[in-house]
Structure 1
Amino acid sequence: MKIGITEQKQARCDQTDEATNENYGNRVRFYDRNSLEDMDWPNTEDGRYARAYLEPLMFQGTRGFMINASTNLLIARIDDLVLPLTVNELSACLIGQARENGHLLHESAGAAQFKRNRGAVSDFEYSAVYERHLPMSRRWCWLLLERLSNLVGVPLMRRMKL
């Protein structure tokens, strides 16, 4: 029985893994503004919707819709699935530099004020960590983080309107 499960997992892996799937090039295609005319759009409701939405963006460029955005738009077609991909030059540089230096990158600095200027109402975001199965020697750091977040972090965020 375990052999059958392993074979099924391997078969699924072979369908999507470029290195082990000789049909990868036929299943996944990328299109830019110059090659979009060659795209065979899926004849489905989603395919027609994607075409109606994405073709104007591709031919007119994103600046026609968002004046302050400089991004390159690509379309990925994976079987009958059509996905838009954006490549922002600044983001690509920041991500590359952070990766080279071994840093984490959080690109939402200033987002709270930006959203408030447009009428958004702030609310807290929560992350859940289940730690009860851990021994106390590994749980204490999560308990400390919880206390610090509730006693220091939340009041500070409320005071600074973040």
Structure 2
Amino acid sequence: MEKRTDSRDRTDPAKDKNRDRRVRFYDRNSLEDMDWPNTEDGRYARAYLEPMVMQGTRDFMINVSTTLLIARIDDLIFPLTVNEAEYDNSYVCSPYTHYVRYAKQELMLLRKPLLEKGLSALLSVVGWGMQQSQINKVVHINNWLLSTNLYPAMSGEQAVCLLAAVRERYPEHAVVFRSLCPGLHSDLTEELKQAGCQLIPSRQIYLYRANDPNFGNAKSRWLLKRDHELLTKHGYEFVSEANLTEEDIPRIAELYKLLYLEKYSYDNPQFSEQFIATAKASGALTLYGLRKEGRIDAVMGYFCRNGVMTTPLFGYDTAIPQSIGLYRMLSACLIGQARENGLLLHESAGAAQFKRNRGAVSEFEYSAVYERHLPWGRHWCWLLLERLLNRVGVPLMRRMKL
């Protein structure tokens, strides 16, 4: 089949003879040859990635089956995930799960039964076509296997160079950068677009500019103060990682499962106890909890990169009455941590009205997808996604304030 090329394509391997000297790839067999950068990001990457590369991802995330590699460009480290099909995977490395199976589960948020039924049928048809076109034959760049992938201080030129190297190494795969937000990554999104990537919407996310002391209004500040006062009212203590022990790890895993898996979706990454223990020991996640009478009832785990903070581990005991306000308390503590550290808080998706009321602002998050080198039978599904989501999905989410 004929492959698409045009004058915008800046990923041709022949166009950059220096690329091989700048970009290196490492797998479990060559990881011992890695010269880890002695930087904050380099040390973090080693602590987080090395165990998963050596042991495999499923010991840490039960529903993530992928080949995990590490790419180094200049002094920056990026995890790469390589997939062939794996349609039962979590959405973190399965476009099919993200755009079809998870999307079907989210339709209930519309609260419009006829519209939900029609869109579900459309997703079923589109999903069948996606499988036929091998949409999951994909390499994700900077994929930390979390709901939100934070980016280091990376230039657009470095992103395009890395893209070209990955394309050369995996000529039969689509190449994807997840978790790109134009408000945070204007240089990356513009350079990748100029290099021939499509920007495909993935979700509406919320940003809380805790690094700005004047951010928010009087109402949002009052709500946050009220939420935080619930800790004293209900006898909860906000405990740091130093007060969380190995004995708390099963409870932490249970609390995440109760919220993110049982209440939301089992297509979220399913963290194992080993993942939580390793992240705690290495400092890959900073853990805090809400403890009452010796028992942890809510937990959060966050990490920071390049002035941005996000919380991939978040959970609470859903059997405790909603009137107690565990979600409100934990969210107030999270914003407090972002303020203490002077960071912009990436609050991911969901609970839209709650986050808006407390001062968060919405942005759309995109995946930059490079598929121009693939035959028509492989890339048409990406083109369809781009058209459907930009012309129908985004306006619908804006109108419904999801």
Kept after mapping to 1: 8 A contact 2:65/2:86? no
The runs of 5 or more residues in structure 2 that have no matched partner are 1-9, 88-95, 107-259, 265-314, 316-348, 354-361, 365-390
Q: Of Structure 1 and Structure 2, which has the larger fraction of its residues in helix?
A: 1
C-alpha RMSD of the superposition: 3.9
Q: Which amino acid aligns with 2:101?
A: G
Secondary structure of the residue aligned to 2:100 is coil
The residue type paired with residue 60 of structure 1 is Q
Q: How does 1:55-66 map to 2 (within 5 A)?
A: 55-66=50-61
Name the structure 2 match of 1:45: 40
Paired position in structure 1 for 2:15: 20
SS at match of 1:75: strand
Residue 99 of structure 2: SS of its match in structure 1?
coil
Residue deviations 1:103-159 (CA, integer Å, cap 9, x gap):
xx78422325277832984659887xxxxxxxxxxxxxxxxx79xx67xxx6xx89x
Instruction: Identify which of 3, 13, 26 aligns with 1:31.
Output: 26
**SS of structure 1 residue aligned to 2:50:** helix
Which one of 88, 101, 123 corresponds to residue 110 of structure 1?
101
1:67 aligns to what?
A: 62
**Percent identity (aligned):** 60
For the pair shown, the structure with the greater C-alpha radius of gyration is 1
Distance 1:41 1:82 in 2: 8
Classify 1:107/1:28 alpha carbon distance in 2 versus 1 (closer, same or farther; 3 Å): same
Give, in angstroms, the shift of residue 89 of structure 1.
2.4
User: Comparing both structures, which one devotes a greater share of its residues to strand?
Assistant: 2
What is the match of residue 73 of structure 2? 78
Q: In 1, Cα distance between the equivalents of 2:100 and 2:29? A: 35
Matched with 2:241 is none
Q: Within 2, Cα distance between the matches of 1:57 and 1:88?
A: 16
| Residues 108 and 23 of structure 1: CA distance in aligned 2, closer, same or farther (over 3 Å) | same
Q: Is the 8 A contact 1:73 1:84 kept in 2?
A: yes
Structure 2 CA distance, aligned partners of 1:84 and 1:126?
25
Query: For 2:70, what is the secondary structure of its paired residue?
Result: strand
Aligned pairs, number: 110
The separation in 1 between residues aligned to 2:21 and 2:38, in whole angstroms, is 17
Question: Structure 1 residues 29 and 121, CA, compared in 2 at 3 Å: closer, same or farther?
Answer: closer
Q: Which runs of 5+ in 1 are unaligned?
A: 1-12, 93-104, 128-144
Deviation at 1:40, TM superposition (A): 1.0
Q: Which residue of 1 aligns with 2:322?
A: none
Alignment partners' CA distance in 1, 2:15 and 2:100: 41
**SS of residue matched to 1:46:** helix
Say which SS state the counterpart of residue 109 (structure 1) adopts.
helix
Q: Where does structure 1 differ by over 6 angstroms across 4 or more consecutive aligned residues?
A: 124-127
Q: Deviations over 1:44-77 (max 9, x none)?
A: 1111111111101111110110122211101110
- Contact kept, 8 Å, 1:70 with 1:89, in 2: the verdict is no
After superposition, the Cα gap between the structure-2 partners of 1:122 and 1:89, relative to the gap in structure 1 and judged at 3 Å, is: farther
Contact 1:32 1:75 in 2 (8 A): yes
**Matched position secondary structure for 1:110:** helix
Q: Which gives a bigger RCO, structure 1 or 2 (Cα 8 Å, sep 6+)? A: 2
Go from structure 1 to structure 2 and tell me whether the alpha carbon gap of 1:122 and 1:85 turns closer, same or farther (over 3 Å shift). same
Q: Tell me if structure 2 keeps the 8 A contact 1:32–1:58.
A: yes
